[in-house]
Amino acid sequence: MPDGASATPILNSPLAVYQAQLGSKLVEDPAQIEAIKRLDTLFGQLHQQNTAPFEPTTGIYLWGDVGRGKTFLMDLFYDCLPTKGKLRLHFHRFMARIHQALNAQAGMQDPLVGIANDLAKECRILCFDEFFVSDIADAMILAGLFKSLFEHGVILVATSNIPIERLYENGLARHKFLPCIALLQQHTHMLHLAGEQDHRLHQLHASQNGALLSRGSKNVGTTAEMDLAAIFSALTHTTEPANVRATSINICHRDIPVVGVTDINSPNALVWFDFYALCEGPRSQLDYMEIATRFNTVLLSGVPQLGGEVRGWIKARGTEDGTGDNQAASTGERVLSYSVNDDKARRFISLIDELYDQNVTLYLSCDVPLAELYLEGALIFEFRRTYSRLIEMSQG
C-alpha cells in the first residue's frame, strides 16, 4: 500500500467504491488494486487539504495496454472528488481547447501563462484520458503549458498507452519536447497497469458482420444483419420512408452529407452517416467532437475493412534540430510508411474515441466482422484500443 493510504478507506473514496464493486462488476486484478490504492492516497491528501491552503502534491500517470482499466480507474477517482475544482477531458479535447485559447489570445505576450492561469482558477485537479502526442504543434505547446500549470499547483492525473519517456517518440524536433517529459516525470507518479487481462473482452462472443454498439444505459446486443433504415425508423418512431433521406448538416462550418437526421436541437438528436462521408476527405478531430456533443445517437453504415499492406508513400526533405553533435542534422529523404487506407482508419479511430468519451450510442454496420476491421497497417497499435472500445460499447 502506498505511503499515506489507510487500511480503512474514507467513505465514498475511490478505494471504497472499487472494493464495493469487486465480485459483481469487477474481476480482481492486482495491478488495478495497486493503482486504485495510489489514487486513494491522492484522494486522501486532497480530502485533508480541502479547507487548507493548497500544497504541492504529486499527480498520477497511469499507463498500460488496452482494456486494463485506466480510464475506468481515473473516472472512478474523478467522480469521487467534490464537484468544484476539477476538470476531466479527453486529451484531444484538451488540446483543442488550448488551441482555441491561443487563437483568442493571438498577439499577446506569453499567452500560455495566461491560459495556465485561467485553468488553475478553474481546477486544482486536471484529468485527461489517452495522453498521446503525435502533432508537432501540440508537442511545442505542452512544455510551456505544463510548466505554468505545475507552478500554479495544478495536479495532473492522466492515462496513456505508453510510458512518459516514450511520448512523442520519433516525432519531429523531439528534443524540444524533452522538457515536457522531464516535467511529467517530476510532477507525476508513473504507474504501469501491467495486468494480463483485457477487461473489455470478458463478455466477448464471436463478432458478427453487424453490431449494435452503445456506452449508454441501455442493454444492447449484437445482430447478424443490421437494417439501419429499420432501426432509424424505429428510433424516430415513424415508418415513413421520407424520414430516411439524404441531406446534409453543418459541422464546423462545413456541410457533411447524412442519410438521415432528426431535430438537432432535441436532447435525443439522432444522425445517420455513411462511413465515407464521415471518414474520407477533409474531416478532423474537431468535426467528431462537435458530432459527439450535438448527437445522442449515431448510426454509421458501410464501414469497410481498413488498413492493408504498409508501403512507403512520401519522401520529404528537411532538417530536424537536436539530432547530432552539432544539434542539427539533415534528415535527407524521410520515407513515411503507411497503408493506402490508413487516413480513413485514423479518422475512424478519432471518431470512436469521441463517441466513446461522450457516451454516445452507436449503431455500426460493417462489411467484415469487428475483429477483421484492421488486420494490417501502420496503425495496428492505435487500432487495438479502438477495437477494445468497440467491444466495450457493444456490451452496454
pLDDT tens digits for range 355-370 = 988 889 898 888 888 8
**42 occurs within a structural domain:** yes
Nearest to 99 by CA among 361, 285, 308: 285
In three state form, how does the secondary structure of 320-359 look?
Answer: EECCCCCCEEECCCEEEEECCCHHHHHHHHHHHHHHHHCC
Name the residue with cell 500517470: 61
The residue length of the chain stands at 396
> Looking at the structure, do residues 182 and 277 belong to the same domain, yes or no?
no
The residue among 159, 178, 199 that closes a domain is 199
**329 occurs within a structural domain:** no
**216 occurs within a structural domain:** yes
CA distances from 291 to 350, 354, 362 (A): 12, 9, 12
pLDDT in tens, 109-131: 889 999 999 999 999 999 999 89
**242 occurs within a structural domain:** yes
| Cell triple for 291 | 458530432
Name the residue with cell 488551441: 99
Which pLDDT does position 10 carry in this prediction?
Answer: 59
> Looking at the structure, do residues 246 and 195 belong to the same domain, yes or no?
no
> Looking at the structure, do residues 158 and 290 belong to the same domain, yes or no?
no
pLDDT in tens, 54-112: 556 899 999 998 878 899 999 999 999 988 999 999 898 899 899 989 988 877 888 99
Residue 271 has pLDDT above 60, yes or no: yes
Per the structure, how many domains does the chain have? 2
The CATH number of the domain where 35 resides is what? Answer: 3.40.50.300
Which helix (H) or strand (E) segment holds residue 160: the answer is strand 155-160
Name the residue with cell 498500460: 64
Q: Which residues contact 143 (CB under 8 A, 6 or more apart)?
A: 176, 177, 179, 180, 183
> Looking at the structure, do residues 116 and 215 belong to the same domain, yes or no?
no
Which pLDDT does position 194 carry in this prediction?
Answer: 85
> Looking at the structure, do residues 184 and 210 belong to the same domain, yes or no?
no
**314 occurs within a structural domain:** no
Nearest to 300 by CA among 283, 278, 322, 315: 278
Greater confidence (253 vs 187) lies with 187
Greater confidence (275 vs 217) lies with 275
Considering 144-148, 246-250, 301-305, 364-368, the range whose residues carry the highest mean pLDDT is 144-148
Which residue stretches of the chain are H helix? 14-21, 30-49, 70-80, 91-104, 111-122, 136-151, 178-187, 228-235, 275-279, 285-294, 342-357, 380-394
Residue 227 has pLDDT above 80, yes or no: no
Query: Quick one: pLDDT band at residue 181, thresholds 50, 70, 90?
Result: very high
Residue 199 has pLDDT above 70, yes or no: no
Q: Are strands 270-274 and 297-303 parallel, antiparallel or unpaired?
A: parallel
> Looking at the structure, do residues 91 and 127 belong to the same domain, yes or no?
yes
> Looking at the structure, do residues 61 and 85 belong to the same domain, yes or no?
yes
**47 occurs within a structural domain:** yes
Q: Which of 14-23, 172-181, 243-252, 386-395 has the lowest mean pLDDT?
A: 243-252
Name the residue with cell 516535467: 183
> Looking at the structure, do residues 192 and 220 belong to the same domain, yes or no?
no
CA–CA gap between residue 233 and residue 220 (Å, rounded): 18
Which pLDDT does position 325 carry in this prediction?
Answer: 39
Which domain range does residue 280 map to? 203-309+338-394
| Cell triple for 384 | 487495438
Which helix (H) or strand (E) segment holds residue 112: the answer is helix 111-122
> Looking at the structure, do residues 373 and 291 belong to the same domain, yes or no?
yes
Q: What is the mean pLDDT of residues 26-39?
A: 89
> Looking at the structure, do residues 263 and 289 belong to the same domain, yes or no?
yes
Q: What is the mean pLDDT of residues 281-285?
A: 84
> Looking at the structure, do residues 68 and 132 belong to the same domain, yes or no?
yes
pLDDT in tens, 293-333: 999 899 998 898 888 776 654 544 443 333 343 333 334 44
**304 occurs within a structural domain:** yes
**323 occurs within a structural domain:** no
The residue among 182, 199, 216 that closes a domain is 199
The residue among 199, 234, 259 that closes a domain is 199
Q: Which of 40-49, 330-339, 387-396 has the lowest mean pLDDT?
A: 330-339
Which pLDDT does position 150 carry in this prediction?
Answer: 95
How many CA atoms, within 13 angstroms, populate the side-chain half-sphere of residue 137? 6
> Looking at the structure, do residues 247 and 379 belong to the same domain, yes or no?
yes
Classify residue 10 by its DSSP letter: P
